[in-house]
Amino acid sequence: MLTSKQRAYLRGLANRLETILIVGKGEITDNIVNQADTALTAREIIKGRVLENSAYSSREAAELIADKCSADVVQVIGSKFVLYRPNPDEPVIVLPKAKKK
């Protein structure tokens, strides 16, 4: 689970990203999930987009893909969404530490 500070940090990183995952009018297939999974392993953070003719809202698509890829939904704005999953072997993104209670 990401803290609000970590989400803000990831949102800042996502501003510069190109959209690499597009959900069209069909179902969210295994191919889309595999593409997202591969991209998350390589990049840790990806930006996706849901086309207007899709059966899914951007929130639904982001949550479904994140659930299948074991990722976190960082942000959903309009038709775009951002997903994050740290690489277990070689993490590239260093998140701000969460405050201890």
DSSP string of 5-32? Answer: HHHHHHHHHHTTPPEEEEE-SS---HHH
pTM: predicted TM-score of the whole model, two decimal places? 0.92
CA distance 51 to 23: 6
Position 101 scores a pLDDT of 61
pLDDT in tens, 24-70: 988 899 999 999 999 999 999 999 999 999 999 999 999 999 999 99
In the numeric block, the tokens 């201890």 are attached to 100
pLDDT in tens, 8-24: 999 999 999 999 999 99
Which helix H or strand E contains 86, and what residues bound it? none
Q: Which domains does the chain have, with CATH numbers?
A: 4-84 (3.30.110.60)
In the numeric block, the tokens 């698509």 are attached to 61
Q: How far is CA 94 from CA 24, 55, 57, 100, in A?
A: 32, 35, 30, 18
